[in-house]
A and B are shown apart, each in its own frame.
Chain A
Amino acid sequence: MSLVITPWFGAVKIGDYIKRRGYEGAKKALSIKPEDVIEEVKKSNLRGRGGAGFPTGLKWSFVPRETDKPKYLCVNADEGEPGTFKDRYIIENAPHLIIEGAVIASWAVGIHRAYVYIRGEYLKFALILEKAIEEAYQRGFLGKNIFGKDFSLDIYIHRGAGAYVCGEETALIESLEGKRGNPRVRPPFPATNGLYDCPTVVNNVETIACLPYILREGGENFASLGVEKNGGTKLFAVSGHVKDPGVYELPMGSSLRELIYNYAGGVRGNRRLKAVIPGGSSSSILMADEIDVSLDYDSMIKAGTMLGSGAVIVLDETACMAEVLRVITRFYAHESCGQCTPCRQGTSWMAKIAERIAIGKGKKGDIDLLLDIAHSIMGKTICPLGDAAAMPVIAICDKFRSELEEQIRERRCPIERE
């Protein structure tokens, strides 16, 4: 089985990376026309790994080719979605995959300046990446006349400062400009009016890290690793009640059950599986008997949830759903930027209700109230954070209603723990 990213883990120094055929993909890209690079990426069926799964080649093709303005690449390393830590693994273990990928994307779109927006808490990992960038400059893989071509690219790291919403692409752009991370109203889209009102591509770290493979081995090869319309492999960050939490790379279309039991070692202490949050804390929860799903963007939507960032949080029978609800709602209330009334008020209202249920002060009717509020946020906000806050609440209230109602009635958590 061919893998796209993890085989390069451990090749942190540029020499080791080159020994593993590093920078061959970038060299190949620069030897063909930018349009042909975009074609190759379209053929690969690569979809954005940041959560939304938008086809990468198509996204790039929305950027105007001829323009008087400079164009920018923003590599999204904000990684704030609870449960997600796969981009950190790439930065830590194979930083040159990101740099090589950035060279490929920039050549394809006609970009000469890229920023890596990395969350402030990742200082340690930002330093690893910075070191790798320096190495790439020394070898002539960044800067002027890359591979002897009339092509230049500069990459800079931009550290965030603690705000989940800055992972949203337009908030990220605002934050890069030295402002609060308030998402922008779309349209216009970043492809035409992004950073400094210039055409901008925003791509996730993992998306960018797939590009060297695609250019080296070909788009069709990458596509064939996955399933229809979902090319390649995906990194999954598995955490929670499993024996072996960590990052695993599986072909798109693998089964969620296989990931949990064959890769992450199954449920710890041989306890019973209760539920799985399959794509970061904003994805809808799956019950134990719903995990025979295929891990690709389309199948997950069909299953009523989403692949999201690939953060799989496993809950065993000891998990208290009122507690889960409380933590999730508090998070979104804390992170709402406050621009839209339904999100600002709805998230803090939901957090208040979930809090009182969790501490044994819930009221009859609270579950319906939560559902009402969640539905009144859905689709009525500037950015998808509102939906991200509402979706998990709806799923948990629907699927675990009886447990939550018991908690409200009994004024305590109904879960028996040793």
Chain B
Amino acid sequence: MRVLRTIVQTLFLAGVVAVMIRGAMGLTTSTCGTYCPFAGLVALYSLLRYKTYTCAMNELHVALFVSLVALTLITKKSFCSWVCPLGTVQEWIGKAGRKVFGRYVRPPIAVDRILLNLKYVVLVLVLGLTWTVWQGHLGFRAYDPFYIIFTGFQGHETLWFSIFIGIGVLVAAFFVPMVWCRYLCPLSAVMDPMSRAGFLRLRRNPGLCTDCGICDEACPHGIRVATADEVTARNCTNCLECAEVCPEKGALELTLFGK
């Protein structure tokens, strides 16, 4: 499972790095933003308001966003742990942190609950500013670590600001696993309701589970797997790290429509 996922993650990461390098060499005008589904949401927004696309948005962004909605309905937030290069980089950095600290460092539950809602505030802010100040433009790009990191820190006119955001997120991910995805990413906020419905989800078989709790510790999103019958949590990305470490064969199984 992990090998398959790592291959898929590496392919997407390599693709986005290739676009970055080709852009730096002047071989393409595409950037990582050309393939960002979040721009699709903003594009739908500007279609609604201006009856056309503003900025560099186009039909591909909308199509990728619609595909993302479908993917999330089917497979929960698998986009985050299988596709998104920023998720991949954070995951790998988080695992390095786990090696150093011996476990995932997590904020206290009460703090975590509050922080989990921050991404909705970010989403409302981004959409509000896009409607007003940015007038349909992708103003969020300047603050978006995905765009900043995968354009080689060119996302903002001010280099130190790009470095501050980009490096800041990467360093934070060492101490708090998946910090951007979990607490701040507006695309993650958009996916949350669909993810809750996600048809492909893990089911725990209480007859085989020994309540050892190893799965809980392995989850980068701090989801309580060992006490759930089914993992319906909106934050579950179907990374399957929990199932990977489970010592009891068959205790955690993926189910589609409950089967």
Report whether chain A binds chain B.
no
Interface residues of A (CB under 8 A from B): none
Interface residues of B (CB under 8 A from A): none
